[in-house]
Structures are given as C-alpha cells and as structure tokens.
Chain A
Amino acid sequence: MIATQTIAIIGAAGNMGSAIAKSLAKGNYNLLLQASHVQKAQGVLNEIKKANPDISAEVINCSFEASWEADIIILAVPYQAEQVVAEKIREVANQKIVISVSNPLNSTYNGLLTNELSAAEELQDLLPNAKVVKAFNTTFKADFEKPFIKDTQVDAFIAGDNKEAVATVKELIETVGFRAVNAGGLSVSRTLERMQLLLIQLSVANNYNWHAGWKVLHN
C-alpha cells in the first residue's frame, strides 16, 4: 500500500481548480482546497463530498499552510496571480512537485503575455528548489467531466525535468481519466502553452462549446 498523498489545490474555487479537484477526488488522495473565496471552495467541497462520501478533503484558506501540508501543489491560479502565490509558498514548496496549470493568454486571446520563457519556466525561476511540472493546461474544464470526446480519450500532456515528479503527475492525469503523454522537459511547456492558445482560438472560431481536446494519433 502507498501512503496517501496530500494534494493542495491553490485556486480550487476557480474554473480549472474546481474541475481538477472534482476529478482527483476519484483517486486515493487527501485534498486541500485553497481559495480566496472560502465560500466558493466550500461549495466545491460539498459537491466532492456528495459524489465521494469517504473522501478526505477540506477547505483551507491559506496557500502557505496548504502547501506546507502538501506533497503535491497544484497551482490553478491565473498566470497574472502566479508570482504573488509563488512568493507566499516558496519556503514550503522546496523539493515538492508544483504543477503549473496556467496559460498566459492575453485579454483578447490572440497571443501570449510571456516572452521567450513559458509560464511554467517562469514559475520554476520563482520556485528554484521546487519540481515544477506543466500539466492540465491543454484541457478544458468540460474535458475533466468527460475525458472522452465522441469515444476518443483526450490526451493530456506533461512537461517536466524531474523524472520522478513527471511519473507522479502521470498518475494524477490517469486518475482524472485522460491519456497521459510525456512531452519532454520543462522547456516543452512553451509549446504546450501555445497549443492551448490555438485550441481556444479554434474553439471560439468553430463553436466547439469549450469541449474539445488534443489527440495524438499514432501506430
């Protein structure tokens, strides 16, 4: 048996944070839901508990405390908020897996706010002793509820430099129900963040109704 891991979801009341929290509740994890809107997080927790009565999950309002207790930290806050959160949790994120979920989109969805580095690489610079992994950024909220689109399992990409951390994140992705694709080192997150920019643009242009995803076809 493996000791149950504790996952802190920072920004658990948000669009992506709540979707990730609800999906991970299917696995054997202790979940700490952190959000600045405690009431909203409580609503997410109530939904989780209704669907999974035996789960160990609770709302915690401080990102520092949640990260201190966590084995894995999922940063599900907007790109613009990452720097502030990273500074808060820096000391307790040391050597831990920190998942970068954000896509640094500009307000008109026609470009990125980042320059050369990806949001995940910037996060790694802010948390130099953490094991930053890019994941859950190429999937929409609706994909978490239905990880199959017309019978095809949605792919979810991982990019990270630490092998063990990537393997752990792969397990989380599989718990959610996606097919995990290891895309390479953390610098590949530059591509992954651009892939989501494209998917959002395609979704708007073709009215995919925010239920679309990537699939790598191969032999």
Chain B
Amino acid sequence: MYEVYFHNFKKRVALTEEEEALIKSYLSVKKIRKRQFLLQEDDVCKTIAFVEHGMLRSFSVDDAGSEHILQFAAEGWFISDMLSFLTEEPATFNIEAVENSELVLISKSAHEELLKLSPKYETFIRELITNAYIALQKRINANNSQSIEERYEDFIHNYPDITKRVPQHMIASYMGTTPETISRIRKRLTTRK
C-alpha cells in the first residue's frame, strides 16, 4: 500500500522506523478506478497524489472541448495541480485515472504539518518538486526547439512503458498534436528501421 512511496522516499532520504511511522500517520491510501476523477477543473486541488500502482493523467480542456494532457503519472510519480494546491485557487486541470490505480494521498493540511515536523519530509518533497521542475523545463524547451518527430522519438525512448500503456490519442494530446500526425510519424519510424 505504501511500498513504492517509501521505497522512493528512502532512495532519497534515509528514514528510521519512527520517522516512517510518523509520516505514514499523515498519509492516506485510496484506490481509484479507470476513468474516475481525482480532481475536476474549478474545484480546489486539496491533495498531492503519489502513484503506488497504475496510471493517472492531468489535462485541461479548451473552449472547443479538446483535451490537452499536461502529465502522465505512473508508479513512483506524483501528480497534482500544484498551482491550485499551493494557492487554493480553483484548479485549471483535471486529474483522471487512465488505469485502475492505487494512490498514496497527502492533504494540504497534512502536508503543511509534516513540513513543520519532519525535515526529511521537506527534503523528499523538495527533491520531487525540483525533479518535476527540471522535467517541465526540458519539456518546454523541447516544445520550442525540436520537431514533433524528435519529440516523439524522445518520448518513446524515455517512457517506453507509458507508450505501451496509454492510447495513441493521449500521447498525441500530450505532444500537442493529432493522432493522425503520430500515426504518420510511427509509420516513418518503422520504414526507416
């Protein structure tokens, strides 16, 4: 239930049994089924979700009703609408389960309490957020400087597991393109091989 969470935690910061028990007492576990929402746009995001098993995605919906995927989160990743979580403003993203999933959740109040109580929790969270920041920076730079073909190749190289687990239209949405374009790229890649 918390195995992946604490495995990830201890990779970054060592924990004694007491420290682990303290942190655990502030967490909650939740199962969520495929297509259920953890967060819907306009609601305030009250949790950070860590994926223990399964996969979630966050996305926005534009005025024309098209979805734009910001992030996928598989085992060992966390997902939230950080802007809404930190400012308590209405969320601009939706978070939905792509597969039946098991989550470790931390609420805003528990998160703040733990930041005060546990310097190790603070280190862990800071590393997670730093890594997420780096990933976002890379993604923005790639969007501005690389062709869609290069970005797709990078994606399937970096995330072979996600490529297998999510439908192609979602990858297209994540890349900011259409499923047809992704199909054409895939064809070109196979013929090239």
Contacts and interface: CB of A to CB of B under 8 A. Distances in A.
B99 to A, nearest CB: 15
B interface residue count range (under 10 / 10 to 19 / 20 to 34 / 35 or more): 20 to 34
B29 A92 contact: yes
Contact of B1 (A6, A65, A69, A91): A91
A65 B30 CA distance: 10
B169 to A, nearest CB: 22
Contacts of A4: 36-37
B42 interface: yes
Interface string B21-42: 0001111111111001111111
B107 A95 contact: yes
Contact of A69 (B31, B37, B38, B40): B31
Interface string B76-110: 00000000000000000000000000000101011
A205 interface: no
Contacts of B43: 1-3
A105 to B, nearest CB: 32
A96 B41 CA distance: 23
A95 B110 contact: yes
Residue from the set B28, B32, B36, B110 with the largest chain A CB neighbour count within 10 Å = B28
Nearest to A130: B28
Contacts of B40: 1-3
A129 B113 CA distance: 14
Nearest to A164: B109
Contact of A71 (B24, B30, B110): B30
A68 interface: yes
A60 B170 CA distance: 32
A36 interface: no
Nearest to A92: B29
Interface in B103-128: 105, 107, 109-110
Contacts of B109: 164
A94 B25 contact: yes
A68 B38 contact: no
Interface in B35-81: 36-43
Interface in A164-187: 164
A2 B39 CA distance: 7
A28 to B, nearest CB: 11
A94 B41 contact: no
A50 B57 CA distance: 34
A8 to B, nearest CB: 11
A94 B105 CA distance: 10
B28 A96 contact: yes
A68 B25 contact: no
Nearest to A70: B30
Query: What are the 3 tightest A-B residue pairs by CB atom distance, in nearest-first order?
Result: A95-B28, A3-B37, A69-B31
Interface of B: 1, 24-33, 36-43, 105, 107, 109-110
Interface of A: 1-4, 6, 30, 65, 68-71, 91-92, 94-96, 128-129, 164
11 contacts: A4-B37, A69-B30, A70-B30, A92-B29, A94-B24, A94-B25, A95-B26, A95-B27, A95-B107, A96-B28, A129-B26
